[in-house]
Amino acid sequence: MAVKLLDKKEWTKDGRKWVFYDYIKNLDGTRKKYKSKKFFTKTEALKAERDFLALTIEYSDKNYNMTFSDLYNNFYHYKEDKVKVSTLTTYKDRKVYLKSLDNIKLKDFNIEHFEKWKKEINSYSFSTTYKNNIFKFFKTLLNYAIKWYNFNFTATYNKMTNFNNPNELPKEMQFFTYEEFKQFISVVDNILLKSLFETLYYCGLRCGELRGLTWNNIDFKNQCLSVRKNVIPSHGETNKSYVVTTPKTKGSVRDIPIPKVLLSDLEKLYGISKKEYDFNDNWYVFGNNNPITKGRLSYQKDRICKLAKVKKIRLHDFRHSCASLLINSNASVMLVAKYLGHTKIDETLNTYAHLFQNQMTEIVNIINGLN
């Protein structure tokens, strides 16, 4: 280490002119140069140098034997007050896929460890996209170790590759056509369920957005609903089975016009709900002072599909059904993106490009007609 008086041109306006230099030893044995901030006197620089050296030694000793399990716990605690509850839930879900690496020390991590882990993940019957989402989280942890603990994974990092399956068949998107939805909803006589599935189909809400709707989000006068909340599983964070958070992205906060058929049914449901004891407009549209459970949603959806003799689709597929309805009605990609709450149009195109194919064919027909 060395304390140095800077050239006069490097002095600060208030007269700070002393610095110290050092080479920091990373946990993997490599070194990098460190330059301190500027100090007024040599004595101040020397004291700061001693404090820095003591802290560096303590820091290095503490983290030298850090394992992947330690890293995950540090990462999770660091993120607890910086990201949404839904993001923390994703972190928890991903942890199970790193269990085989728990006891590996970061300083010993190499490409052999990675390839063994990759082989394990490949043994699961997940889609390639989901496997790469797990891989993305794995790299996020490594980047956190690089930034905060000075680990250097360059030799291994540059050899790590994405999951790829050239023989994987594209997953066919499931959705109801308008005729199929009419057949589905025709057997529903419960006004709550009828309004619920009409909201999913005509408004394209995510399941958490639907569950988060309260009556003060319904504007009967202007015939629109506002998406302002998202309900997700709590995973034990509270004494309730759910947590209310903000919507998925900024673009997900939106106002959606309510079709007349849905508006009529929501008015009927509101009239019935108002008769309940202790009712107020903070009650959930589909529930009461608590939102309807996702389990009940799935159960009723499957029951109605069977009763109506239509194919069984997921709850999220009602959102795809809404997108299909809009696109087949010649809605522009910008309108579809805004309606569904996509932050970027690219997301809409990547998800529904095949549905826009009919519109592209019509464009060609228009051009051909000009000639």
What's the pLDDT score for residue 81? 87
Angle 333-340/345-352 helices, nearest 10 degrees?
A: 100
DSSP state of 3: E
Q: Which amino acid is at 324?
A: S
CATH number at residue 118: 1.10.150
Residue 16 lies in a domain: yes
At which of 63, 79, 114 does a domain end? 63
At which of 138, 157, 176 does a domain end? 157
Q: How far lies 65's CA from each of 61, 68, 146, in Å?
A: 8, 10, 15
Residue 10 lies in a domain: yes
User: Of residues 348 and 359, which shows the higher confidence score?
Assistant: 348
Over 90: is that where the pLDDT of 331 sits? no
Q: Quick one: 146 and 130 in the same domain? A: yes
Q: Out of 20-34, 280-294, 337-351, give the one with best mean pLDDT.
A: 280-294
Q: Which of 206-210, 319-323, 365-369 is the least confident region?
A: 365-369
Residue 91 lies in a domain: yes
CB atoms within 10 A of CB 88: 17
Q: Quick one: 286 and 308 in the same domain? A: yes
Residue 166 lies in a domain: no
Q: Quick one: 31 and 83 in the same domain? A: no
Residue 178 lies in a domain: no
Q: Quick one: 207 and 108 in the same domain? A: no
- Number of compact structural domains in the chain: 3
Distance between CA atoms of 50 and 47, rounded to whole angstroms?
A: 5
SS3 sequence, 212-246?
A: HCEHHHEECCCCEEEECCEEEECCCCCCCCEEEEC
Residue 169 lies in a domain: no
* Domain residue limits at 196: 188-364
Q: Quick one: 196 and 289 in the same domain? A: yes
Distance between CA atoms of 190 and 196, rounded to whole angstroms?
A: 10
Q: Quick one: 218 and 151 in the same domain? A: no
Q: Quick one: 296 and 316 in the same domain? A: yes
Residue 182 lies in a domain: no
Residue 172 lies in a domain: no
3 backbone dihedrals φ, ψ, rounded to 5°: -100, 140
Q: Which of 181-190, 235-244, 310-319, 354-363 is the least confident region?
A: 354-363
Q: Quick one: 302 and 235 in the same domain? A: yes
Tell me: the pLDDT tens digits for 142-181?
A: 999 988 888 889 889 999 999 998 888 777 789 999 999 9
Q: Quick one: 320 and 236 in the same domain? A: yes
What's the pLDDT score for residue 190? 96
Chain centroid to Cα 101, Å, comes to 24
